[in-house]
Amino acid sequence: MPSREPPLNAVRVFVAAGRQLSFTRAAAELHVTHGAVSRQIRSLEKFLGVALFERRIRQVALTAEGQQFYAEVEPALAQINAAARALARPAAGRAAVRINVRPSFALRWLIPRLPDFVERYPDIEPQVVTSTRPPGQEAEGFDVAVRRGLEGWHPAMQVHPFLEDEVLVVGAPALFAMQPLEDVRGLASHVLLSAKTRKSDWDDWRRHFGAPRARPAGRLQFDHLHFVMQAAVDGLGLALAPASLLAHDLESKRLQAGLPEMRMPLTRYYYGLAPGASPEARCVTEWFEEMRRAQRRAGSVD
């Protein structure tokens, strides 16, 4: 490994490409060309001496080394950005509100819904800060946080119930077309996907439903849940995923529920307000409350 520092702009481009799993979407996010993204990734791979992406037709996938590098640098880059935002003054006339969430929740639930918040509250600047630490252990300041369960919250925070949730089996429609899943026994014909942070999900799911344990056609493990969900979209196997994070994939038919009646309840989400929260932060929690009421009216997990 070279002793000099890696090219930080290339690292920034890599994180965008790793998050999007697409050089084209990363280019759009960064407002540069596809070629510029490709060149930055190649320069970083040359610097590190490893391939970070597998180039496929119309898509890319992180290699094992790429997954490891992404897992380390994405939180570090997010911390740098958060530190800069904490020091920078918000645009004139706009109050900033820092919302602290886990990365998968940010990507799959919060960010897709933020346009609605911005339209409703044009004078508030939402700043999304991702972290896997419990809110009570956060060294970095924030105004609102979202986590599962009631453990790890600071005693001074106001904590409120948020979204109910459940986990279900999902896969790509093309995969189900080739290998239908009619009952639990059909799982033995599929590759099962899992995350290192949620290793016991399949065993917990089987125990919950009293399903027999059987050797699957194969197993693939990834560092984080959002990689598992992307692997499912790409047709690599079946995933167990929280319904709260699946809405857009199911609506767009990128993913399809298998065994849709077999849904295992998960610990619900809670949101917490930091002590002395501003009126703008309370606007975020009012928006959360609208989402919670909409979920209850729908009678199913969003």
- Would you say 237 and 97 are in contact if contact means Cβ atoms under 8 Å apart? no
- Residues whose CB is less than 8 angstroms from the CB of residue 93 and which lie 6 or more positions away in sequence, other chains included: 123
Query: How far are the Cα atoms of 76, 164, 255, 261 from residue 80, in angstroms, in the given order?
Result: 6, 32, 34, 43
- Mean of all residue pLDDT scores within the chain: 86
Question: What is the structure's pLDDT at 140?
Answer: 63
Query: How far are the Cα atoms of 232, 271, 299 from residue 240, in angstroms, in the given order?
Result: 9, 24, 21
CA-based torsion, 199, 108, 265, 239: positive or negative: negative
Rounded to whole angstroms, the Cα distance separating 213 from 207 reads: 9
Question: What is the structure's pLDDT at 89?
Answer: 53
| pLDDT tens digits along 265-300 | 999 999 999 887 888 999 999 999 998 888 887 764
The percent of residues above 70 in pLDDT, for the chain, comes to 92
CA-based torsion, 85, 89, 93, 98: positive or negative: positive
Question: What is the structure's pLDDT at 85?
Answer: 61
The stretch 189-201 carries a mean pLDDT of 89
Question: What is the structure's pLDDT at 161?
Answer: 95
- Would you say 187 and 181 are in contact if contact means Cβ atoms under 8 Å apart? yes
- Would you say 228 and 222 are in contact if contact means Cβ atoms under 8 Å apart? yes
Which residue in 165, 162, 164 sits closest to 287, CA to CA?
162
This prediction's pTM: 0.66
Question: What is the structure's pLDDT at 1?
Answer: 47
